[in-house]
């Protein structure tokens, strides 16, 4: 099946610093990737849609200047949390739309747990 990786799996940083999270599709090309955030015991909330070669589309209430998304290649999208604060601590998960022919199936990465001190 389609495999998506994320790096790092866990990161702890000081308040005010920036953190970059990478999402890679390992065995297929993903023109569209999604970034979700999940707080403890809550469901996944879509943050933004990332399309290769174009600007990301952010959901209402998500600050695009704070959560910078870059989808520079067909296998890599990055999320940078700028000037992180404790309230940004969460589980960040990316997903990629499957290979051609799978239409609307999404394959998720293992997630990145961000803790901001």
Partner 1 sequence: QKEVEQDPGPLSVPEGAIVSLNCTYSNSAFQYFMWYRQYSRKGPELLMYTYSSGNKEDGRFTAQVDKSSKYISLFIRDSQPSDSATYLCAMSGGTGRRALTFGSGTRLQVQP
Question: Which residues contact partner 1 by CB under 8 A?
Answer: 4, 6, 32, 34, 41-46, 49, 91, 93, 95, 97, 103-111, 113
Distances (CA, A) of 15 to 82, 88, 113, 116: 10, 10, 15, 6
Q: Of 94 and 116, which CB lies nearer to partner 1 in the complex structure? A: 94
Q: How far is the CB of 95 from partner 1 (least distance, A)?
A: 8
- Which C-beta is closer to partner 1: that of 26 or that of 83? 26
Quote the DSSP letter at residue 102. Answer: S
Work out how close the CB of 113 gets to partner 1 at its nearest, in angstroms, rounded to a whole number.
7
The nearest distance, CB 4 to partner 1, in angstroms, is 8
């Amino acid at each position: 099946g389609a495999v998506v990786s994320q790096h790092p799996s866990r990161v702890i940083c000081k308040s005010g610093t920036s953190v970059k999270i990478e999402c890679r599709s390992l065995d297929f090309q993903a023109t569209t990737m999604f970034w979700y955030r999940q707080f403890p015991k809550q469901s996944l909330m879509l943050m933004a849609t990332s399309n290769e070669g174009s600007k990301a589309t952010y959901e209402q209430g998500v600050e695009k200047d704070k959560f910078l998304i870059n989808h520079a290649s067909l296998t890599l999208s990055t999320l940078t949390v700028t000037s992180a604060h404790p309230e940004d601590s969460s589980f960040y998960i990316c997903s990629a739309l499957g290979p051609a022919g799978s239409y609307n199936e999404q394959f998720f990465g293992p997630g990145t747990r961000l803790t901001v001190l």
